[in-house]
Structure 1
Amino acid sequence: MATLPRAGRVEWIGLRPKRDVPMAPADAAEAKTGKGLVGDRYTGGSGKRGVTLIQAEHLPAIAALSGHDSVSPVLLRRNVVVSGIPLIALKGRRFRIGDVILEGTDSCDPCSRMEEALGPGGFNAMRNMGGLCARIVEGGMFRIGDAVSAIED
């Protein structure tokens, strides 16, 4: 279970400055240790949900299951879209994106807001594909195109 096929890649970054506003796409983000992303409403608190990530490969499945041709990451309320690496394999592990070291803390299960974002059944369309929550162990910058790689124990 410790072996991953390859490194992943950051495909999209989004920040939400306050509650009930759309995600704002960004080319880069600054992560603060134990907190969150600068400019995102979740900066602060316990830090267990400092960054939320979702698998790019799940977006077409979520779209199909919710009856859409495609689904924009803006609707799904996750900070980072990652391709090429199975995110769930990073739960309980440390990994690096750009200058940042993260630790996967828990699955990022969908919430009832997915009914509003995706329409009726949106919550169920995302079940088991909601992504990963991570805490920021070591802050820094990351950008679209940066590698996502597990840190060996």
Structure 2
Amino acid sequence: MDSPDLPRVHTIHVAPGRRLPTKSVVSVEAEAGAGLVGDRYHGSKHRHVTVQALDDLMAAAEALGRPVDPGLTRRNITLTEGPVPTRPGERLTIGDVELEVVRIAAPCRLLDDDLGPGAMQALKSPRGGAVFRLLSSGTITVGDEAVAG
């Protein structure tokens, strides 16, 4: 049964290669131990999925003085609200897919290029989200519930 109080998937973005723009998708296949099919990190050892929250992006936008487009942050999944788990080992279930925190997602220098000067600083922890490994496979779709724990 859906709960109106739980965070949900707001957007999903994948990038086919390093430095290539992300593209918005409605759903994506998550492959346990490998990552999101079609994303640049698919097949990497631990960096399978990056997750951020829309309310953190709004706080970053306030600090920057301009909107922050979720697709330009280079994160894969944006939830409607946080907090996003950030301690290694913490779990998050999105739809039927189980994820485990690897580390905090540090913002990269590309943010200042894509979002303008100051973006990298505005998206520093805890606003930048977290990097997760996939513990199970399945489909992640916009609107799916996200449950921490």
Q: Report the counterpart of residue 140 of structure 2 in structure 1.
A: 142
SS of the residue corresponding to residue 133 of structure 1 reads strand
Q: Does 1:119 align with 2:116?
A: yes
Q: Which runs of 5+ in 2 are unaligned?
A: none
Alpha-carbon separation, structure 1, partners of 2:87 and 2:143: 19
Letter in 2 for 1:29: V
Alignment RMSD, CA only? 1.5
Alpha-carbon separation, structure 2, partners of 1:90 and 1:80: 18
Letter in 2 for 1:142: I
* Superposition pairs of residues 2-151 of structure 1, within 5 angstroms: 7-46=6-45, 48-68=46-66, 70-88=67-85, 91-128=88-125, 129-151=127-149
With normalisation by structure 2, the TM-score equals: 0.89
Alpha-carbon separation, structure 2, partners of 1:19 and 1:119: 19
Q: Report the counterpart of residue 3 of structure 1 in structure 2.
A: none
Alpha-carbon separation, structure 2, partners of 1:89 and 1:53: 10
Alpha-carbon separation, structure 1, partners of 2:20 and 2:74: 10
SS of the residue corresponding to residue 109 of structure 1 reads coil
Alpha-carbon separation, structure 2, partners of 1:93 and 1:60: 24
Alpha-carbon separation, structure 1, partners of 2:93 and 2:100: 9
Alpha-carbon separation, structure 2, partners of 1:91 and 1:10: 21
Q: CA deviation at 1:144?
A: 0.5
SS of the residue corresponding to residue 104 of structure 1 reads strand
